[in-house]
Amino acid sequence: MSAIRELGAKLDRVVPQVDEKGVVTAYRCYFLADDGERRVTNDWRIGDRACCRTDNLEVRQGRGQTANRRYWRLVTGTGDKTINGRQYHYVDLSNEPSVKIGDKTCVGYDREGCE
């Protein structure tokens, strides 16, 4: 069973994680631990499912393709890191159709859902 958690913070940066062949296997999503007004905890756990859901994107002329989207990603890692003197939390989100966690194979992403 997967837990579903709300982030409660704005992502500051997303960094692709690549394997030895240069293939993107996950995305590391960073969010500030403390923005000066509020402190955010990193409650994500490996095996949680995170939902990417956008409902209000507009296509701007000359800016390429933009579309609302909804999909799940499996949390495969979490942690903390100091970048430029600021403390960040991060969550790694799978870019693989399935991921082995311990002795279980879990769905890594689902382009449908997030209802």
Tens-digit pLDDT profile for residues 31-78: 999 888 888 889 999 988 887 776 666 666 655 666 666 677 889 999
Higher pLDDT among residues 40 and 101, named by residue: 40
pLDDT at position 1 is: 32
**Greater confidence, 43 or 101?**
43
Predicted TM-score of the model (pTM): 0.74
CA angle, residues 12, 18, 23, in degrees to nearest 5: 125
Cα distances (angstroms) measured from residue 1 to each of 4, 47, 56, 106: 10, 9, 30, 10
Helix (H) or strand (E) segment spanning residue 99: strand 98-101
Average pLDDT, the chain: 78
